[in-house]
Structure 1
């Protein structure tokens, strides 16, 4: 099932992001940073994002949250952005990420948005996913985690 996140979801969302980071970015960024990811920090971030009307859509079943996507509208060349797409490692490969991605694309289109950007770490496994979803690697920037610099890539999606 799929729905918008509420304040009642902040703890399960934090757990999904923590588990996903440990799998997705081990070997790409400093392990000390990954091990130091703090649940309370993410709970606070999700509370603020939900209260500030950021789009957070989740997939769940009777056992709990399986994955989520968050996004926002913005001004500029890219008028919308996916801020995060995380699927619990135990349920990856079941189409949850694709479902979430398609849902937020649909929502951005309905709001008249045309150019979507997703920032991620270069060479992360999710790079292939974004290319399969139609993304084109168009942008580069430095991403900072734990005071260290990493190469970030931006995948662009034309929503028209």
Structure 2
């Protein structure tokens, strides 16, 4: 794996972070979601809402060499917004980010992680020990509520 650097996002990262997330949604989720759902998801990650998230939750960025390749967030007991640039998927970056955010949650004495997985990422999370709770429906499409004890 390339030289990795993980750091907390700042407001200076808003544009590049928004671009990474929206590009990843458009490429990675196209097989599981219709265009309307993808457009609605992308709207959630325009720069202004991303700036609000940076102010209200812990968001980590992952760089391989100098390239922004992934991100993950933590809000309360929820793992949020794990995205890896499509060209870097399958190389372990998602797992590294998930393990790191779980460590952050443990430090905050959070006993169980929850997440809303896209249909696309469900198997990824299952392989990391997350269990199916229920299928949920949102205007942006169906998502899978999952959980994992952090003991």
Q: Which sections of structure 2, spanning at least 5 residues, go unmatched?
A: none
The residue aligned with 2:125 is 130
The answer to whether the 8 Å contact 1:56/1:69 transfers is yes
Tell me the distance in 1 between the aligned counterparts of 2:26 and 2:66.
21
Tell me the distance in 2 between the aligned counterparts of 1:17 and 1:84.
8
SS at match of 2:139: strand
Asked if 1:51 corresponds to 2:42, the answer is no
Q: How many residue pairs are counted as aligned between the two chains?
A: 146
Asked if 1:155 corresponds to 2:150, the answer is no
Q: 1:12 aligns with which of 1, 10, 16?
A: 16
Question: Cα deviations across residues 75-101 of structure 1 (Å, max 9, x unaligned)?
Answer: xxxxx0012100000111111111110
Q: Which sections of structure 1, spanning at least 5 residues, go unmatched?
A: 74-79
Tell me the distance in 1 between the aligned counterparts of 2:96 and 2:118.
22
How far does residue 61 in structure 1 lie from its aligned partner after superposition? 3.6
Tell me the distance in 2 between the aligned counterparts of 1:34 and 1:142.
14
Q: 1:27 aligns with which of 27, 31, 36?
A: 31
The residue aligned with 2:117 is 120
Tell me the distance in 2 between the aligned counterparts of 1:136 and 1:105.
15
Taking only aligned residues, the RMSD between alpha carbons, in angstroms, comes to 1.8
Query: TM-score, normalising length from structure 2?
Result: 0.88
How far does residue 128 in structure 1 lie from its aligned partner after superposition? 1.3
Query: TM-score, normalising length from structure 1?
Result: 0.83
Off by >4 Å, runs of 4+ in structure 1: none
The residue aligned with 2:75 is 72
1:93-104 correspondence to structure 2 within 5 Å: 93-104=90-101
